[in-house]
Amino acid sequence: MPAQKNYGSRGQHWHPDFVTYMNFIASHPSYAGMPDAFVDGGKIQWEAPSNRGGGRFKDTHHLRRDWWRAKARAMGISPESQHWISKCAKRLHPTGRKPCKRCGRVLELRYIYPGKILLARIIKLPCLAADRLMGIVRTNFRASPCRNGHPGPCDADHIGPISLGFTHRPEFQMLCKACNSAKNNRMNLADVAHLRRLEAVGTEIISWHSNALWNLRKGSVVDDESALRLSKLLRDNRHTFMAVLQQVEQAGRFGFLLFLLNLEFADFEVEFVDLIVTGYLTVFATMTRTPRTTKYAIEQKARRCRVALRALHDYFAKANRSAYVISTPASEQLIKRAVDLLATQPDAFRRLDAATARLLNQTSDDDLEAGLRTLVTQLPVNWPSEFLRAKELLGDAMTLAAIELARRWDDERYVRAESAFD
């Protein structure tokens, strides 16, 4: 077994328990013949990115996929089926458990752990600047102190969780790993106060599908308990919005879902001038935006489309998801009007719906993303008026849901002692 070595990515060191696990897996007979498993000095090559343009290991990704295909076929799993590698890996795994590479927490591979930013992946992109800034913080500012006075290393934390409907803005607070993990989707009074101050000077801090509930109850937050209460309400607002999008998906209006992703922001490269961390917050003088001229923009759009559409399809299929959805006759009528309106879209967008449906129904994830790389190059510059009006109707439906949720401010679901978020 190779000696323990240093591993990490994006400026973060992997947990020692995960490194021990890596050595166990890389040396296990089940994974014999894995291409380029060990490199110079006996170090494990755990990851093999698909975008390597050259070098000794530029083909490792493809060689490993061939290895997995052979394993899948031996198990009777079709490499053309959805999630075939995941199915194969779970069956092949010798223990069914693995530690988190960041914190060391042991995870069951059979359990679905919902991503904290699932909603952000589906309705994300007010600006890709936040993605760029987060990467810079991970690389250059991890030594900054934690907001709560703990030693680093620190991570970039959204003050308003994007999974609760807040915008993906290029501003972060520095939190150590323990504080970031403990916060999860929760807000405290200081978080809400900061967001209210930003909003007062004209900053857009909340997404269109969540702003009604925020406006109705942000003034009710006077302490940490009421901030947590608002967080729980926004969580159920998220569930409700995902149920609305599910109706759009079931109607086959995939072009409208792609419209909501604001993919055009991937066409620009963002840089920050005079970026610093002060008062535990990221601050910069100006932000520049220049057009991208590489295929990276196409790859990003295709990847985001794939993740978003798959995540939406799977959202309510998770047996462990405790979803509470607000639905009223009036809101359902608005949703129906929106879906019916989308049925009157121009023929070009009907063809877009059909093309996307074919990709989703007939291909593996790899083939899906390859097909989407072609599809995103054909998306229109101007979307039809039916899309804009349908978005307004869905916004009205979410306003009705927000009114109902706001009325439940004192309900025991939100007032009771804190429980783990889903």
Is the pLDDT at 125 greater than 50? The verdict is no
Radius of gyration of the chain (CA): 23
Q: Helix (H, G, I), strand (E, B), or coil: what is residue 144? A: coil
Predicted local confidence at residue 227, as pLDDT: 94
What is the model's pLDDT at position 251?
95
pLDDT in tens, 322-336: 568 999 999 999 999
Alpha helices in 154-188 (DSSP H): 177-183
Q: Which stretch, 148-157, 244-253, 271-280, has highest mean pLDDT? A: 244-253
3-state percent breakdown (helix, strand, coil) of the chain, nearest 5: 50, 10, 40
Given a cut of 80, whether residue 236 has pLDDT beyond it is: yes
C-alpha to C-alpha distance for 93 and 182, rounded to whole angstroms: 30
Task: Name the DSSP letter for residue 173.
Answer: E
Mean pLDDT throughout 261-271? Answer: 79
Report percent pLDDT > 90 for the chain: 36
> Does 379 have pLDDT greater than 60?
yes
User: Which tens digits make up the pLDDT trace of 295-321?
Assistant: 888 988 898 899 889 888 887 766 445
Phi and psi based region of residue 67 (left: phi greater than 0; alpha: psi -120 to 50; beta: remaining)? alpha
| pLDDT at 32 > cutoff 80 | yes
Q: Give yes or no for a contact between 244 and 208, defined as CB atoms under 8 angstroms apart.
A: no
Distances (CA, A) of 209 to 164, 242, 317: 10, 10, 22
